[in-house]
């Protein structure tokens, strides 16, 4: 079995098969996997598609609904969420997907990857991703995701630092998938200020943010921004993802979901829960880490030791 598309080794991307048969990438020989090794599709379905839609049918804002997929990567989160949204509908639900991704080496993979997801039965038969027109360097790329019953979504890909978009956009958003590399690697993409902008953009009723991360600094930033926090089920060696909502969950929680466990609440009450900060939304990793380290040293909160892990199979809790 071969990967869904070919990227030359000089590009620095390597294809890796995950345990559910879907493929992911690694950046560099020792870099992070883009997805959980237990399953790229399984992770997208369990940590993004299901918690984004559970208990919300007919309860979102005006059409079309809007999905922000931040650090789009291979797009698994969007493909899975769109499949779940469309599966039980006689007519497709109009969705505007705003994908923010600066690594355009991945663009060549999206169409063949969607084809492979159809062939493997993850996306319904007849689904295809179609490029729309030409694009000049630095300008948005446009695609349409279409199925046998019509168009599912319009996809606009913005090849820029998403921190610019999150400040500029005023449009209401139904869902946000936040999927950068791990907080310890790119803390400037996991700050309390970013989460504050997200909270203001999400629709008032049932706006939801989904991320694989359960790092204490991330949970601290999300809570400070005003989100209600929940844990999605574990997958493989990873202990689960995070569902952040604009309002508390009003229906019985599905099996495997929970409010934050006591260990997370204890971490949030300690220096581990001090969030990353970057008021300018322009800082680099070194500056954001230095600021947080200084804030932890001067904090009146107690110290706490937490296990450290990484994105593909486990998750950092700095």
pLDDT in tens, 141-191: 999 999 888 899 999 999 989 998 888 877 899 999 999 989 999 999 999
**Residue (of 205, 195, 97, 110) closest to 154 by Cα position:** 97
Bridge partners, residue 23, by sequence: 17
CA distances from 48 to 78, 243, 263, 299 (A): 8, 8, 23, 34
Write down the pLDDT at residue 56.
67
Domain spans in the chain, listed from the N-terminal domain onward: 40-298
Write down the pLDDT at residue 318.
53
Instruction: Round to whole Å and give the CA distance between 65 and 202.
Output: 11
H helices of the chain, in order, are 40-44, 50-53, 76-86, 107-119, 162-168, 192-201, 216-224, 262-268, 285-298
pLDDT of 217 strictly over 80: yes
Question: At a CB cut-off of 8 Å and minimum separation 6, what does 218 contact?
Answer: 183, 190, 211, 242, 275, 276
Q: For 59-80, what is each residue's pLDDT tens digit? A: 544 466 899 999 999 999 999 9
Q: For 180-199, what is each residue's pLDDT tens digit? A: 989 999 999 999 999 999 99
Tokens of 147: 């199925």
Q: For 260-312, what is each residue's pLDDT tens digit? A: 999 999 999 999 999 999 999 999 999 999 999 999 999 999 987 644 443 43
Fold classification of 40-298 (topology level): Rossmann fold (3.40.50)
């Amino acid at each position: 079995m071969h990967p869904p598309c070919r990227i030359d080794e000089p590009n620095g991307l390597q294809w890796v098969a995950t345990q559910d048969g879907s493929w992911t990438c690694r950046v560099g020989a020792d870099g992070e996997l883009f997805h959980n090794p237990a399953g790229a599709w399984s992770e997208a379905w369990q940590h993004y598609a299901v918690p984004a839609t559970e208990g919300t049918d007919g309860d979102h804002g005006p059409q079309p609904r809007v999905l922000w997929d931040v650090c789009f990567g291979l797009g698994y989160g969007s493909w899975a969420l769109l499949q779940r949204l469309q599966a039980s509908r006689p007519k497709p639900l109009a969705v505007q997907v705003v994908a923010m991704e600066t690594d355009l080496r991945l663009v060549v993979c999206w169409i063949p990857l969607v084809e492979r997801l159809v062939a493997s039965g993850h996306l319904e038969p007849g689904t295809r991703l179609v490029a729309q027109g030409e694009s000049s360097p630095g300008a948005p790329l446009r695609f349409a995701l279409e199925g046998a019953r019509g168009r599912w979504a319009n996809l606009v890909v913005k090849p820029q630092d998403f921190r610019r978009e999150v400040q500029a956009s005023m449009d209401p958003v139904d869902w946000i998938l936040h999927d950068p590399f791990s907080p310890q690697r790119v803390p400037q993409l996991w700050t309390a200020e970013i989460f504050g902008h997200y909270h203001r953009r999400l629709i008032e009723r049932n706006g939801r943010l989904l991320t694989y991360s359960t790092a204490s600094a991330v949970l601290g930033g999300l809570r400070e921004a005003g989100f209600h926090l929940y844990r999605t089920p574990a997958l493989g060696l990873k202990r689960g993802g995070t569902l952040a909502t604009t309002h508390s969950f009003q229906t019985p929680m599905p099996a495997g979901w929970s409010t934050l466990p006591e260990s997370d609440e204890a971490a949030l009450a300690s220096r581990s829960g001090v969030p990353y900060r970057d008021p300018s939304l322009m800082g680099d990793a070194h500056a954001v880490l230095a600021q947080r380290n200084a804030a932890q040293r001067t904090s009146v909160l107690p110290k706490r030791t937490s296990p450290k892990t990484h994105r593909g199979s486990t998750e950092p809790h700095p």
